[in-house]
Structure 1
Amino acid sequence: MIKISSFLLVVLILCIGQLISAAAFAQTKRADLTPYERDTNQTATYAQIIDWYQQLDRKYDQAKLIEIGKTDVGKPLHLFLLAADKQFTSRPDRVTLLINNGIHPGEPEGIDACMMLARDLLKVNKLPKNVLVAIVPVFNVGGCLNRGVSRVNQNGPESYGFRGNARNLNLNRDFIKAEAQNTQAFQAMYQSLKPQVFIDNHTSDGADYQHVLTYFATQKDKLHPAVSGYMTKTFQPELDKMLTVKGFPSAPYVNHPGDTPENGLIGYNDSPRYTTGYAALFNCFGFTLETHMWKPYPPRVRASYVFDEAVMRLCESEAQTILTNQKRANEAIKTQITFPLSYKLDRNKVDSVTFLGYAAAYKPSDVSGLKRLYYDHSKPYKKRVPYLNNFVVDTQVDKPRYYIIPQAWPEVIRQLKRNGVTVQTLSNDTLITVSTYYITDYKSPQRPYEGHFIHTGVNVRTESQPIQFYKGDYLIQPNQPTNRYIVETLEPQGVDSFFAWNFFDSILDQKEYFSGYIFEDTAAELLKKDPALRKQLDEKRATDKAFAESANAQLDFIYRQTTYYEKTHNRYPVYRLN
């Protein structure tokens, strides 16, 4: 039996204690690291993401993780809030910065960057006092759970989520139709927060170049001048300076008209179906960050961290100006008369930007033997390239005094209410003379786009008609800060209107028809009684050979001039009261 002196026993106990303490400290230090920091070729799983933010919530009073709704895959959608004063609601005296991650979970840099950024801000108590930071940890939960590899041109991480959600929807095309539960929850949250500045974190695909970080801002020509002028002349120049100082000189998102970006770049026209286009409807300016897919994963994550932090710090230093500009825009939108519905690129106005690229060349393909493009990394360049980023209004409309929508279209009403629109209802059955649209032409693709055969090239004619409305039908007065959302979704010519997204397709179906062998006699009698109708028929036969050779087409032409032809066919069921 070995005897140990009391002194040696004490020393042994102390040594064991120190070893246990060191191990515990190492374990604690490791627990403070994100999965990405433990292995920089990994991105956090959905379970790790939520567990991370739950830990921060438990540890810090200045943090709060909440569930804001369900997603299509059945899991909750979370929002993580950071507030220096521990007050987690939006207020008129501070900016709300909303950061969205994982709308495309195969582009996960923002997920990992925001996990680290949130921890670092809380750990050193460096939260901005006049900014509420709201982070969506991962928006496309179903896509995040569908883990594997799918982006063949991307350099890491080892595995990641999928672009489509549980319904195989691209959620960054869903912000008007809002079919996904994810989007519906997001919209309700957005209208509660009413952010002034928005970031959507992504990874690019396409051309090769030196930049780790590119981005596009909300299309400036769509924003109210109070917001647009400040964003382009003050906020973006300062942001670009900060990014360059941090080692990430930026360029506009690489959307190029030719084979290579060396020929020039084109600004991105983010219509309301996209996150930033949706935010613009409410006078919020936003940024879609695009890190370069072929750079190693660590600098892409670092670039996302630097970008999000820089935007946050600018929100902190510029808070009062940002708040004032949005307030001015909101007030102006209430009384604005004319609203754009679509835009087109102005090719006559060309700017330029500094671009860090690689020389492009061509060589025979090892696959096809034909000419293929490649980028020569031994020939980097820095030069000014043309930049087309000016858009002009293509279609516009004056708002009516009221829109009237029959209660037969409840999904449209739900969309309006969820997006902050105030609606009224008729208290009695009422006959009202209104301005009605008839859809005279539109084009639809042969293949579906995001589950829809989206309509483009919409043309309308207008008629004044008495329409019977009923108690409970809806009145929308466009005298609200949400006017842009109201007009751009309810006017059928809007590029992302509810009509474009097939909400009203049943009006395009004719419900009653004629039997040709019987209507022949009726049509002949009508032509005898109506010389003007006879003249119209003769003129159309003289100018349209196919029409002249089709008996049924001629009968249909006459039928549409009769009282038998249904007035509801092609009549757009959103009425204008002027």
Structure 2
Amino acid sequence: MLPLMAQTKQLVLSPFERDSNQTATYAQIIGWYQQLDRQYDQAKLIEIGKTDVGKPLHLFLLAADKQFTSRPNRVTILINNGIHPGEPEGIDACMMLARDLLKANKLPKNTLVAIVPVYNVGGCLNRGVSRVNQNGPESYGFRGNARNLNLNRDFIKAQSENTRAFQRMYQALKPQVFVDNHTSDGADYQHVLTYFATQKDKLHPTLSSYMIQTFQPELDKALIEKGFPPAPYVNHQGDTPENGLIGYNDTPRYSTGYAALFNCFGFTLETHMWKAYPARVKASYVFDEAVIRLCERDASTILANQQRANAAVQKQTTFSLNYILDRSKIDSVTFLGYQAAYKPSNVSGLKRLYYDRTKPYTKRVPYLNNFVADIQVNKPAAYIISQAWPDIISQLKRNGVAVQTLPNDTLMTVAAYYITDYKSPPRPYEGHFVHTGVKLRTESQPIQFYKDDYLIHTNQATNRYIVEALEPQGVDSFFAWNFFDSVLDQKEYFADYIFEDTAADLVKRNPALRKQLDEKRAVDKTFAEQADAQLNFIYRQTPYYEKSHNRYPAYRLD
């Protein structure tokens, strides 16, 4: 039987098929899926929410049994396109793949296929030629969305309407497998197709072992058979890939990192920017089709694995908040590259790197893809959050977290974090000054809570999301993304000339405080030379200093 791509002579042609250096416009994309919806009962196009540009976000569903909702006995695969519309291969590939599956009556029986036709609608409408290093198509969309956000950094903070709509859709679908279609820049090499999988060391062992021992080997085999030998995403150490590739740490800000929080494994496909556009589209088609076929083949295993992982996460007590590369463990992979060399630049006259396509090579290169937990935390029995933080509660609810409200005003003894140190960059990143290097101390305190404040129990399948979002040391926590920055502001102060006498009386009547002050002056010369710093040191030991300053407002109930 002819492969699906070969059957297109009998079918309506997409803009790409009419001209292989073209990618579909937003209107053409949506019109295409609307036509498939009208033509086939097994297809359904729905609007799942608004985007920042005001246009709707669409989801296209393919179901052999015409039942378009997720079910416990059926795998759901979610394929995302156009998160960076300047990387449009997935858009064109999925248009053809959806049509071909329907026309050939080849829809999987045990798999619901869910396709986001184009995620970054604002970027898709902003059409031009912004990717100077890319080999086609003739014109395409822009990386930033209507708010100039990179949507593949927004999955945990959900600053855009696109992301909020995506999260609601994701929680309704609860997929087991996720694919995000992209185009890679960087080094030159022979591979048309590279990809990275969800970081294996962050997944539940049941999911991880199946993904790396069964799914990926079979996927790679299918890709090789179709003429697209894969390589890991080319994130290399040193100047060139020959020096070794490094696995990608897809934290929750990224699409696959977000999916991993809910025990869904995924793949970010990266076709190579400098290959001809038709080859990149075909590679995307082959990749997505292969993933769908494997989901169908292993449906029962994939479903059982996620169910086991969900049950385990509900009972899990220790969670990792950040991962770092383990450089002591080095594997190797076969890489199809081009020899790199250096020559004088025609612009600067200085040494410049280039790749010689007349000198291809095939060799094993080092591959570092083992990560270890950097920070771990034991989950509390529950978190308590004041109703004063409605945006946080909305985030939790939108991501499938069950919350309860307190029925009465209640005084509770809780474990309260105090932020003792953190680092922030001098310039914003995606509209935020992301906090890193967060240091904490914990105090047990009685705190007054009020009727309708929120209680979030940690006996849920969403525990990974809850803990990684609410623990302030999490690499992509709500604290890291500045959701709680107002607690870092001190609201009341003292007047030096008045507080001088109060401070003098305090140290006179409190020998322990006097000793602390003297010891700090002895070891800190700058402190010893600053009268206001010494007054502030004393002030912070008094009842006048506000207890809420630097106190993190998601309290732990242990």
TM-score range, shorter chain: over 0.9
Please, which of 151, 166, 178 is the counterpart of residue 198 of structure 1?
178
Q: 1:333-352 maps to which residues of 2 (within 5 A)?
A: 333-352=313-332
Q: 2:227 aligns with which of 247, 252, 260?
A: 247
- 1:2-81 to structure 2, matched below 5 A, reads 32-81=12-61
Say whether 1:320 aligns with 2:303: no
Distance in 2 between the 1:101 and 1:357 partners?
A: 28
1:147 matches 2:127: yes
Q: Distance in 2 between matches of 1:130 and 1:224?
A: 24
Deviation track 1:210-243 (CA, whole Å, cap 9, x = no partner) reads 0000000000000000000000000000000000
Name the structure 2 match of 1:527.
507
> In the TM superposition, what are the counterparts of 1:137-286 in structure 2 within 5 Å?
137-286=117-266
Counterparts of 1:537 and 1:29 in 2: how far apart (Å)? Answer: 85
Q: Distance between the aligned counterparts of 1:52 and 1:497, measured in 2?
A: 39
| In 2, Cα distance between equivalents of 1:338 and 1:30 | 56
- Give the secondary-structure state (helix, strand or coil) at the position aligned to 2:320: strand
Other structure's SS at 1:532 match: helix
TM-superposed deviation, 1:29: 7.1
**Cα deviation, residue 270, structure 1:** 0.2
Instruction: Please state how far the C-alpha of 1:409 moved relative to its aligned partner.
Output: 0.2
Q: Which residue of 1 aligns with 2:3?
A: none
Give the aligned residue type for 1:377: R
Shift of 1:30: 8.9
Partner of 1:540 in structure 2? 520
| Equivalent residue number for residue 5 of structure 1 | none
State yes or no: 1:563 paired with 2:543.
yes
Q: How does 1:333-482 map to 2 (within 5 A)?
A: 333-482=313-462
Give the AA of the match of 2:543: T
Structure 2 equivalent of residue 127 of structure 1: 107
- Letter of the 1:439 partner, please give it: I
Cα separation, 2, equivalents of 1:537 and 1:203:
59
Amino acid at match of 1:429: D
Per the alignment, residue 97 of structure 1 pairs with 77
Letter in 1 for 2:306: Q
Paired letter, 1:267: G
Q: Percent identity?
A: 83
Deviations 1:368-407 (A, max 9, x none): 0000000001110000000000000000000001100000
Deviation string 1:8-48 (CA, Å, 9 cap, x unpaired) is xxxxxxxxxxxxxxxxxxxx979700000000000000000
CA distance in 2, matches of 1:149, 1:401: 52
Q: Secondary structure at the match of 2:364?
A: strand
Q: How far apart in 2 are the matches of 1:176 and 1:309? A: 28
SS in 1 for 2:372: strand
Shift of residue 465 of structure 1?
Answer: 0.3
SS of the residue aligned with 2:357? strand
What is the alpha-carbon distance in structure 1 between the residues aligned to residue 484 and residue 11 of structure 2?
53
State the distance in 2 between where 1:62 and 1:386 align. 46
1:160 Cα deviation (Å)? 0.1
Q: Look up the equivalent residue of 1:269 and give its one-letter code.
A: N
In the alignment, the residues of structure 1 paired with residue 118 and residue 210 of structure 2 have an alpha-carbon distance, to the nearest angstrom, of 30
Aligned to 2:470: 490
Letter in 2 for 1:312: I
State the TM-score, normalizing by the size of structure 2: 0.98
The structural deviation recorded for 1:102 is 0.1
* Partner amino acid, structure 1, of 2:390: P
1:17 is aligned to: none
Distance 1:280 1:404, change over 3 A: same
Secondary structure of the 1:332 match is helix
Q: Are 2:501 and 1:499 equivalent residues in the alignment?
A: no
How far is the alpha carbon of 1:421 from its aligned partner? 0.2
The superposition leaves residues 51-75 of structure 1 with CA deviations (integer Å, 9 ceiling, x where unpaired) of 0000000000000000000000000
Deviation string 1:242-271 (CA, Å, 9 cap, x unpaired) is 000000000000001110000000000000
Aligned counterpart in structure 2 of residue 84 of structure 1, from 57, 64, 77:
64
- Amino acid corresponding to residue 139 of structure 1 in structure 2: Y
RMSD: 0.8
Equivalent AA in structure 1 for residue 198 of structure 2 = T
Partner of 2:291: 311
Give the Cα–Cα distance (whole angstroms) in 2 for the partners of residues 553 and 73 of structure 1: 49
User: How far 1:452 sits from its partner (Å)?
Assistant: 0.2
Q: Secondary structure in 2 aligned to 1:198?
A: strand
Structure 1 letter corresponding to 2:412: I
SS of the residue 2:60 aligns to: strand
Larger Rg: 1
Q: Any idea what SS the aligned residue of 1:511 has?
A: coil
Separation of aligned partners in 2, 1:527 and 1:479: 48
Paired with 1:72 and 1:299, the residues of 2 have a C-alpha distance of 32
**Ranges in structure 2 where 5+ consecutive residues have no aligned partner:** 1-7
**Closer/same/farther in 2, CA of residues 88 and 216 from structure 1, 3 Å limit:** same
Letter in 1 for 2:363: K
